[in-house]
Structure 1
Amino acid sequence: ISGGQLGAQLDLRGRNYSKSEGKYEDGIIQGYMDSLDTFAKTMINETNNLYASSAKSSVTSDYLSGLKGDIPLVNYDRTIQPGSFDIVIYDDKGDKKLTKTITIDVNTTMNDIMRQINA
């Protein structure tokens, strides 16, 4: 079938269905779905690469002048926002050994963070 409303719907959906893959091999919508799948796989791969490259063998930090243990962090630096982050510890083989979730709210101080790490 070509032309007309039915032909246009078949062109949109696809005409050749692959039972082994469980999807249409052609069609405008299938082309968009394939492109989206490729984009998602690339995004996942690149995110994993970024995450893997962020692991460090030792902890280093810049000196934070004026930061005292009892000052709320959000008052010290406006870029610090309430939320949480994970500290993940790996062994020398790369296996995850420990995860600590650190929570920051408007009252959290450096002393509070140390207590969360040591808990």
Structure 2
Amino acid sequence: MVVVLCCGGAGIGGFFLFKGIKGATDPARQAAESFVSDLEAGDADAAYGLLCSDARGRYTRDAFAQGVAKQPKIRGHKVDGVNVSSVNGRTSATVNMGLTLDSGFTDRHTFTLVNEDGAWKVCGQPY
């Protein structure tokens, strides 16, 4: 009886731990995937809207679009991992992706995201 309770408790605890982690990482993953999907669709304007305020301060909308146009085209992507952390009250995330380019080459890219006003935004080197 004790073994059943322990195993059952561990299973339930593991389920809620998984749901808690997934709940913390899913919004960051979805934001990074939206950003990359906009780039795949050739919609640099929509992707620009998903940049954090620091990145928008470094790139004008036109400069960002011109920079994206000079990069190899993304034809597909796969999320390889997501990490969310909070340090000194600032929440950030990294999303690792494999980006399949039009050349057939797969580029490994790490997107850095920050949580601004409750929404995840791409920061750092966007692409």
What TM-score do the two structures reach when normalised by structure 1? 0.32
The structure with more strand, counted as a fraction of residues = 2
The structure with more helix, counted as a fraction of residues = 2
- Structure with higher Rg: it is 1
The higher relative CO (CA closer than 8 Å, separation ≥ 6) is in 2
